[in-house]
Amino acid sequence: MDFERARFNMVEQQVRTWEVFDQRVLEALMTVRREQFVPPAYRTLAFAEVEIPLGFGERMLRPVIEGKVLQAVQLQKGEIALEVGTGSGYFAACLAHLGQWVHSVEIVPELATRAQANLEAEGFDNVEVITSDGLKALAAPGPFDVIVLSGGVPEVPRFLLDALKAGGRLFAFVGDERFMHGRLYTCSEPGKVRFEDLFETVVPMLRVPQPVAPALV
């Protein structure tokens, strides 16, 4: 398979046609080798407009959605990002290409280990993958310039909004399995956040741990 041709077609025929025109974002998508983050069984689908299974009930987002999110958050060189939901590590790699440092949180230990290996193999030494529940508490010290929730949530936890710097941006897919808004929150000053709904979509929900049943005595 000609991965370079497939990557070019993904950017030009899929992502750009969804009104992703930010040249830095398009360059990141052309540079980060998406096929290296896809499970081998699905590598020929690396650039297709589909969600790719990762195991453990998780899936990679479609390329057009990743491009829309990257364009929305406008991560700049020198900025620090937090991602909740590492998955394969591909989106963290795109953030790392655009910014200074990325803390990426993954609740599934096996996926966290695999993502860290993918990132290291591709030379990304400015990403830290943390195994934790990123919807429960901060897993890395803030505040952050950018926060991205890489899956759906019914609502954004307040502690994540409070972890934004002044001028910081948080992107989340807010809704349920039937309907979601791609929503961008912007912090004007500590404690003051406004939001804008940018587009409608449906993506996999972020996993919420099931409570452990008490032991029988």
As a whole number, the mean pLDDT across the chain is 94
pLDDT at 217 over 90: no
Does 189 map to a domain?
Answer: yes
Does 108 map to a domain?
Answer: yes
CA 70 to chain centre: 9
Tell me: the pLDDT tens digits for 114-124? Answer: 999 999 999 99
Does 97 map to a domain?
Answer: yes
Does 209 map to a domain?
Answer: no
Tell me: the pLDDT tens digits for 158-169? Answer: 999 999 999 999
Residue 190's pLDDT is 83
Tell me: the pLDDT tens digits for 5-36? Answer: 999 999 999 999 999 999 999 999 999 999 99
Give the three-class secondary structure for 207. Answer: coil
Yes or no: say if 82 and 140 are a contact pair by the CB < 8 Å rule. Answer: yes
Q: φ and ψ at 49, to 5 degrees?
A: -85, 65
pTM passes above 0.85: yes
Residue 1's pLDDT is 83
Does 208 map to a domain?
Answer: no
Model confidence at 213, pLDDT cuts 50, 70, 90, reads very low
Q: How far apart are CA 180 and CA 182, in angstroms?
A: 7
Residue 55: CATH number of its domain: 3.40.50.150
Count structural domains, the chain.
Answer: 1
**What percent of the chain clears pLDDT 70, i.e. is strictly above it?**
95
Does 215 map to a domain?
Answer: no
Residue 131 sits in which domain range? 3-201
pLDDT at 211 over 50: no
**What percent of the chain clears pLDDT 90, i.e. is strictly above it?**
92
Model confidence at 39, pLDDT cuts 50, 70, 90, reads very high
